[in-house]
Chain A
Amino acid sequence: MDTSQFIQRDKTCWEIKPNGTMRVPAIIYADAQLLQDMDQKVYEQLTNVATLPGIVEAAYAMPDAHWGYGFPIGGVAAFDPEQGGVVSAGGVGFDISCGVRTLHTGLNIAGLQAHKQALADELFRTVPAGVGSRGRIHLNHKSMQGMLTGGARWALEEGFGEDQDLERIEDHGCMAGAEPKYVSSRARERQKDEMGTLGSGNHYLEVQRVAEIFDHCVAGIFGLRVNDVVISIHCGSRGLGHQIGTEFLKNMVTSAAQYQIVLPDRELACAPLTSPLGKQYLGAMRAGINCALANRQIITHLTRQAVARVFPGVHPGLLYDVSHNTCKLEQHTIDGQKKALYVHRKGATRAFGPGHPDLPPVFKETGQPVLIGGSMGTGSYVLCGAKESEQRSFSSACHGAGRAMSRSKATKQWQGRTLVDELAAQGIIIRSPSMRGVAEEAPAAYKDVGAVVDIADQAGLARKVARLEPVICIKG
Chain B
Amino acid sequence: MNSKAIAPHWEHFEHEADIGIRGIAPTLEQAFEQTAVAMTAVITNPDQVSASKAVSIRCEATDKELLLVDWINELVYQMAVQGLLFKRYQVAIQNGNLSATAFGEVVDRQKHQPAVEIKGATFTGLSVYQQADGAWIAQCIVDV
Contact = CB atoms under 8 A, between A and B. Distances in A.
A269 B115 contact: no
Nearest to B83: A132
A440 B66 contact: no
Interface residue range, chain B: 35 or more
A267 B70 CA distance: 14
Given A67-B17, A408-B19, A267 B109 contact: no
B69 A434 contact: no
A115 interface: no
A433 B109 contact: yes
A73 B107 contact: no
Task: Name which of A39, A67, A73, A131 has the most chain B CB atoms within 10 A of its CB.
Answer: A131
B12 to A, nearest CB: 5
Interface residues of A, number: 49
B19 A131 contact: no
Interface string B117-128: 101111110100
Contact of B115 (A95, A189, A253, A440): A440
Interface in B1-24: 12, 14-19
Nearest to A98: B119
Interface in A71-96: 73, 90, 93-95
Contact of A68 (B17, B19, B81): B17
A325 to B, nearest CB: 11
Contacts of B76: 242, 246
Given A67-B17, A437-B115, A94 B143 contact: yes
A66 interface: yes
A391 B135 CA distance: 52
Interface string A197-227: 0011100000000000000000000000000
Top 10 nearest A-B pairs by Cβ distance? A131-B114, A436-B115, A132-B107, A266-B123, A242-B119, A94-B119, A246-B120, A437-B115, A67-B16, A267-B123
Given A133-B109, A406-B15, 6 more contacts: A66-B17, A132-B107, A186-B77, A242-B76, A403-B16, A407-B144
